[in-house]
Amino acid sequence: MNIDATFWVAVSFLIFVGVLFYFKVPQKIYNALDESIKKIKKDIEDAEKLKDDAKNILSEYETKVSKSKKEIDILISEAKNESEKNVIKKNKEFHFLIESRKKTAEDKIKQMKKQALEEVKNSSIDIAMKSVEKIIKNSIDKKKLDKIYLNSIEEVKKILKNKSI
């Protein structure tokens, strides 16, 4: 019997496989793969837990955001109402102030008119008195008296015109 190279390759292969089984290499590979699978499953479970936690946190924050939006809307509407009330209040105060100033101005105008009329009356009285005084002093003759009278009237008219301007 002639033993060729194929036989020796087959014998070496069988010895190699025997050595592998003797040192329990397939068991060690199986255990390593099993541990890797367990680790991967654990990582997946942890990832799912983290995902669920993230979903819970997200829903909590969405709830908080919606509550915050509602609170902001309420605060904005309250601020608008308050500002409208303030505008109305300030507007009323402004109108009241303007009315009081208007009344004060009208009162001053009335007082100034009254004072001006009194001054005109007093001036008229003074002018009339002076005219009468002149007439009495110069009452020598009728023609002269008429002339003085007309001059006095003209003088009074001029003075009154000057006072009224």
pLDDT of residue 12: 92
pLDDT of residue 70: 92
Count: domains in the chain: 1
Q: Which residues contact 152 (CB under 8 A, 6 or more apart)?
A: 131, 134, 135
pLDDT of residue 153: 81
pLDDT at 86 over 70: yes
The Cβ of residue 124 has, within 10 Å, a number of other Cβ atoms equal to 14
Over range 45-73, report the average pLDDT.
Answer: 93
Tokens of 9: 């390759």
Over range 34-61, report the average pLDDT.
Answer: 94
Distances (CA, A) of 146 to 45, 63, 125, 139, 141: 134, 108, 20, 9, 9
Domain containing 84: what range?
A: 5-164
Over range 47-59, report the average pLDDT.
Answer: 94
pLDDT at 136 over 70: no
Mean pLDDT score of the chain: 86
Q: How far apart are CA 101 and CA 93, in angstroms?
A: 12
Q: Please, are residues 120 and 164 in contact by the beta-carbon 8 Å criterion? A: yes
pLDDT of residue 23: 83
What tens digit of pLDDT does each residue of 15-35 get? 988 888 888 888 888 999 999
Q: Which residues contact 70 (CB under 8 A, 6 or more apart)?
A: none
Q: How confident is the model at residue 105 (pLDDT cuts 50, 70, 90)?
A: very high
pLDDT of residue 139: 57
